[in-house]
Chain A
């Protein structure tokens, strides 16, 4: 298709072939993990392992979910769910309230609060792990859900986002509410919150995945296997020393660790992309 922009002909098929190769490469690691989760241990430890699923799907997943290796994977899934929901909902709640205060009120120190919040943008928990660990340990929050959640919602990316959105809400709405004698919280519940629905949903997708995929923090503070999250628990399933890992159960756990965030991303794809673009602006 020399020099033309039309989309048919050899170039058209080459485009598809190129994309399909890309998709296959991207999918191969996931496919292999899935296959490994459906075969027996001997099939894996005598390489090469098969590249097509076997018949051990139910056995391996039952074994992982019910007994696991250090803790039942069902338990780790529940822990991850609590952590991810806690982080997503907690951060949205505290952020939307403070953004409302900053945008819709004039009070002493407002600017200071804004800048303090602004300072927390983008500073990941990884760089302050030791002192944060000491704070959490001091509160007796090791091996607890609050210890998993609070340090990870202590940043203001979401506040910033809500502030940007509130700035675009027409002033007439607040004016009308004020003329009608509506209290600020009435305005918040009846007008602002419903208007923010899409933003909240988009943010939820991003934060849920952020929370679900945490690794370092749960690794530090959950020493009790019953409090392990699934993402950090996988590594704990590898034996120390020279023993051979129980690959089918480990790979079944890896697949289980991917399923919830993948469902969220795929089913809420439009919101996800919007959230991604918004949260980087």
Chain B
């Protein structure tokens, strides 16, 4: 798409572009390039010299038990966050869509968590389940369940999933509600007159018509779970116990900044870069299709 009417000159547009181009070159392209470059070296322990190893870091990573475990952890974590947050959001959106009046009030109340930073959400959930003072942990104890996410790997995973999903419900709710409200009421009424019950209507009409929204949210939520949940993990579990909640982004941080293993951390960045790139392409392909939908 092009504009028919344009202004003359090339000095002015270059000046207008300059701030963005300079900032992205310095703080985006150069570091991204560096990540690719560093991923092919192993620095010596004193950081004085680096040895070129080609794809050595990648080969090492892909055969590394801990890295493969982090991949699996990330897959489980993002799968659970996506399903839990989308499921809850869809449930609430379907209910809110049934109201003629008042859905605005619920919407106002349900968007609060969007504003809460993942790291703050982590602190809130940590507080509820803290093994010493947590209210929920205490009541679970009364019921005879001994909650301890500091030692129990499954409980640790459950807690970071809950905290991450909680923060995400608002976002999914807004998109689902918008999607539901865009479905013509006449279609649903016609099915109702034909005698289709609510669940049948939902399964055969509403859900299929909602599929563009669902697919879009699927991709966006996976990206969210991959990258924006660092704060949740760092505040609640710091990747533990026994690396049970070490997702890929957390490992880039842990290896690069805590472990000072720069070559490996850079190689991990490059792998993540490829993952995001792939997801972006999927999303754009889909968005293009959605336009023609």
Q: Chain A: residues with CB nearer than 8 A to chain B?
A: 1-5, 7, 11-12, 15-16, 18-19, 22-23, 26-30, 32-33, 36, 44-45, 47-49, 51, 93-95, 97-98, 100-108, 110, 113, 116-117, 120-124, 126-136, 150-151, 153-156, 159, 166-167, 171, 174-175, 178, 184-185, 187, 209, 212-216, 219-220, 231-232, 234-235, 244, 247, 250-251, 254, 257-258, 261-262, 264-266, 269, 272-273, 276-277, 280-281
Question: Known: A22-B92, A26-B166, A29-B124. Is A5-B192 also a contact (CB below 8 A)?
Answer: yes
Q: How far is the CA of A231 from the CA of B124 in the complex (A)?
A: 12
Closest to A255 in B: B120
Which segment of B54-62, B70-78, B228-236 sits at the interface? B228-236
Chain A residues near B29 (CB-CB < 8 A): 116
User: Interface size of B by Cβ–Cβ distance < 8 Å?
Assistant: 105
Q: How far is the CA of A116 from the CA of B120 in the complex (A)?
A: 34
What string of 1s and 0s marks CB contacts (under 8 Å) between B251-293 and chain A? 0110011000010011001001100110110010001000000
Q: How far is the CA of A130 from the CA of B24 in the complex (A)?
A: 16
**Would you give the shortest CB distance from A46 to chain B, in whole angstroms?**
8
Q: How far is the CA of A27 from the CA of B92 in the complex (A)?
A: 14
B91 CB–A CB distance under 8 Å: yes
B6 CB–A CB distance under 8 Å: yes
Neighbour of B92 across the interface among A19, A33, A101, A134, CB < 8 A: A19
B92 touches A184 (CB 8 A): no
B5 touches A175 (CB 8 A): yes
Chain A residues near B34 (CB-CB < 8 A): 128, 131, 134-135
A171 touches B223 (CB 8 A): no
B135 touches A47 (CB 8 A): yes
**Would you give the shortest CB distance from B33 to chain A, in whole angstroms?**
8
B166 touches A130 (CB 8 A): no
B3 touches A167 (CB 8 A): yes
Between A101, A117, A159, the greatest number of chain B beta carbons within 10 A of the residue's beta carbon is seen for A101
Q: Which of B95-139 contact A (CB under 8 A)?
A: 95-96, 98-100, 102, 106-121, 123-125, 127-128, 132-135, 138-139
